[in-house]
Structure 1
Amino acid sequence: MTTAETRRRPRTERPVTRRRYLMRRWGVLGAFLGVVALVYVVMFTSVLGVRGVEVLGNTVLTADEVRDVAAVEAGSPLVRLDTDAIAARVAALPRVRSVDVRRSFPSTVEIIVVERSAVAVAIGPDGFHLVDGDGVDYSVETAAPPGLPQVIAPDTATTRAAVAVLAAVPEPLRPQIVKVTAETVGNVRLTLTDGREVKWGGTDESGRKAAVLGPLLTRPGKTYDVATPDFPTVA
């Protein structure tokens, strides 16, 4: 037989013996059981469980206050934590504006909070209520923080209108405001440190009102009306 004929002859496959077949089966089974064991360890044991809860971003709230409300059980498998539920519990704290809960492997939960910041204060029979930029009354203090204007409004809607107007006032003029009064959402008035009053009206066209207010205040008077910014008046 020539060399060429030898090359053309098909190679004979070695028969798969029962032993080799069983070895393959056991190998596949072993790999499957390994995966199952790994999933069980990660999902249902404390090997990758919570060892610590780190609180970030807090300034007035203490880390322990946040941890107590978060109620994260030590040893809970990290991958199975309901981070949305934890965030909802922390968000229930009045001082918390927003919260983000993250898993930090292998064993830490991070809770990042953004606290509310007061832009005004409302005086009540029980003390001084801090009001943030969303119009949320979130804390009662025994003394008013310095530099905050007083807001006088009968309800949540008017409070929101008052702080919205306050935010629209040009930054250089804000320190001059000592009181924001909102009888209705369309009738907001500002009282300045020297006793002058600004009739702002509603929150509509606030940009135009802010633009005309600065020049208007250079004119002598006691009452400055920018409710209709195309026709501002001084009285």
Structure 2
Amino acid sequence: MRRRVVALLVIFGVVGLVVGVFFTPMLGVDDVEVRGAKELTVEQVRAKAAIKSGSPLVRVDVHGIADRVRELPRVESVEVARSLPGTVRLTIVERSPVAFVKAGDGVHLVDATAKDYATVAMPPIGLPELLLPVEARPAVKSAVGILTQLPEKLRAEVLTLSAQTGADVKLALAGGREVRWGNLNDTPRKAAVLEVLLTREGTVFDVSSPELPTVS
């Protein structure tokens, strides 16, 4: 009889613990910690995460939270983790601009994936300008793909990139020099050829066909 009573008490205790953990605020969310926010505010991230205070921690939908936070244009990635007794930790990585486009509503920032993710009043210092509309996706994608594959030293000399399509990209370099790049294909090879060509006199450097580059 004593063993049965003890067994019943253990069962009731386990059931009570499960109910308390999964269905009551006993281990509920009492804090949402945000890490990695720079341009975004902690309040913006928390609002998008939409985590209800007091929700049982073990039942928090981490995947749903991550999906909601990724809807913020500035967010490149996010990790969501639970931390006992009642904290949900959001670690975000914000997008970094590699170029910008001037438009009627301001300066559009473009990241390494060619995503137009933010509009600001002034262009960031040191970034090249894309002389094409952000709506021209093939041209933007080619221009950004070329830019991000350039060696750092060469990339620092790029002032603007222009194109009508994804196959006629041109680079304006410091010193009034122009580079006719063409399409995104063979970009590393074209960059290596260009570094050699830039040691010669000239203002127009054509590496659109890296087998037959020209200087004029």
Q: Does 1:166 align with 2:147?
A: yes
Equivalent residue letter for 1:204: N
Q: 1:119 is paired with a residue of what secondary structure?
A: strand
CA distance in 1, matches of 2:81, 2:208: 47
CA distance in 2, matches of 1:223, 1:144: 27
Stretch of structure 1 that moved more, 76-85 or 189-198: 189-198
| 1:131 matched residue in structure 2 | 110
Deviations 1:152-180 (A, max 9, x none): 33412221111110012221111211111
- Say which of 86, 90, 104 aligns to 1:107: 86
Equivalent residue letter for 1:106: P
Q: Does 1:206 align with 2:178?
A: no
| 2:162 matched residue in structure 1 | 181
CA distance in 2, matches of 1:173, 1:198: 12
| 1:51 matched residue in structure 2 | 30
Equivalent residue letter for 1:114: V
Equivalent residue letter for 1:28: A
Q: 1:228 is paired with a residue of what secondary structure?
A: coil
> What is the aligned-residue identity percentage?
47
Q: Aligned-pair distance for 1:202?
A: 1.3
| 1:73 matched residue in structure 2 | 52
CA distance in 1, matches of 2:138, 2:92: 26
Long gaps (5+) in structure 1 = 1-21
CA distance in 2, matches of 1:204, 1:99: 32
CA distance in 1, matches of 2:17, 2:189: 64
CA distance in 2, matches of 1:191, 1:124: 20
- Say which of 10, 13, 16 aligns to 1:34: 13
| 2:172 matched residue in structure 1 | 191
CA distance in 1, matches of 2:124, 2:186: 30
Q: 2:25 is paired with a residue of what secondary structure?
A: coil
Equivalent residue letter for 1:56: R
Q: Is the 8 A contact 1:48 1:77 kept in 2?
A: yes
| 2:132 matched residue in structure 1 | 153
Structure showing greater Rg: 1
Q: Aligned-pair distance for 1:221?
A: 1.3
Q: Is the 8 A contact 1:153 1:162 kept in 2?
A: no
Alignment of structure 1 residues 62-101 onto 2, 5 Å: 62-101=41-80
CA distance in 1, matches of 2:4, 2:175: 90
Q: Is the 8 A contact 1:149 1:180 kept in 2?
A: yes
Equivalent residue letter for 2:114: G
Q: Aligned-pair distance for 1:62?
A: 1.0
Long gaps (5+) in structure 2 = none
Q: Does 1:232 align with 2:209?
A: no
Q: 1:146 is paired with a residue of what secondary structure?
A: coil
Equivalent residue letter for 1:140: T
| 1:18 matched residue in structure 2 | none
CA distance in 2, matches of 1:53, 1:188: 46
CA distance in 1, matches of 2:77, 2:162: 28
Q: Is the 8 A contact 1:188 1:200 kept in 2?
A: yes
Q: Aligned-pair distance for 1:89?
A: 1.2
Q: Aligned-pair distance for 1:96?
A: 0.7
Task: Work out the number of aligned pairs and report it.
Answer: 214
Moved over 4 A (4+): none
